[in-house]
Structure 1
């Protein structure tokens, strides 16, 4: 697998990291693409339904965390490009070792996104 840096220090975010609220994430996801916006709405309604049925805020909290990480991963164009490249590498890997290397780098990207969301 490539040893290129995960993030280019010159890569500027498309927008600031939004707060983990439904409306702020909705706006951010819409700016990232129509298919993501459709998926966001579908998952929002499912999480809302589950929260009502279980009388728990956990489904909504999980939803907001997951979509916050989605936004954090994709708000930097270089990071989004690298994520896509690594996902393709996993899908097309010719060996388990190649898939593991790409998956490990995806893990590093996810860790960086989680830190942004937690900040």
Structure 2
């Protein structure tokens, strides 16, 4: 499973363009991708907002937005979302750290790609 073609070579198109990294745009995207995750989105949004107010800093909100932008970038392409689930299962089923490393490395590459998409 590890080392399968990436999304670009598989021809699986994104469900929608990468939304702007704003609270409202990400809220809509997360809800359309995973309604259960939308609940976590709301909880984390309120926690980040409270922390931002308490610390008089925008860092908690920026961190929140970046994290959820990566979530959306990973899951808006069906083939990439499927591959992520497969890799997570490989890691869950691995008997040793050595057996999990290739899948973990592929997930790390996917996260890097998603972070670049979110930042673009």
* Shared fold (TM-score, shorter chain, > 0.5): yes
Where do 4+ consecutive residues of structure 1 move more than 4 Å? none
CA distance in 2, matches of 1:69, 1:2: 21
Query: How many pairs does the alignment contain?
Result: 119
Q: Is the CA contact 1:89–1:102 (under 8 Å) kept in the aligned structure 2?
A: yes
CA distance in 1, matches of 2:83, 2:43: 26
Residue in structure 2 matched with residue 6 of structure 1 by the alignment:
6
CA distance in 2, matches of 1:105, 1:98: 13
TM-score normalised by structure 2 residue count: 0.95
Gaps of 5+ in 2: none
CA distance in 2, matches of 1:16, 1:39: 22
Residue in structure 1 matched with residue 23 of structure 2 by the alignment:
22
CA RMSD of aligned residues (A): 1.0
Q: Is the CA contact 1:8–1:78 (under 8 Å) kept in the aligned structure 2?
A: no
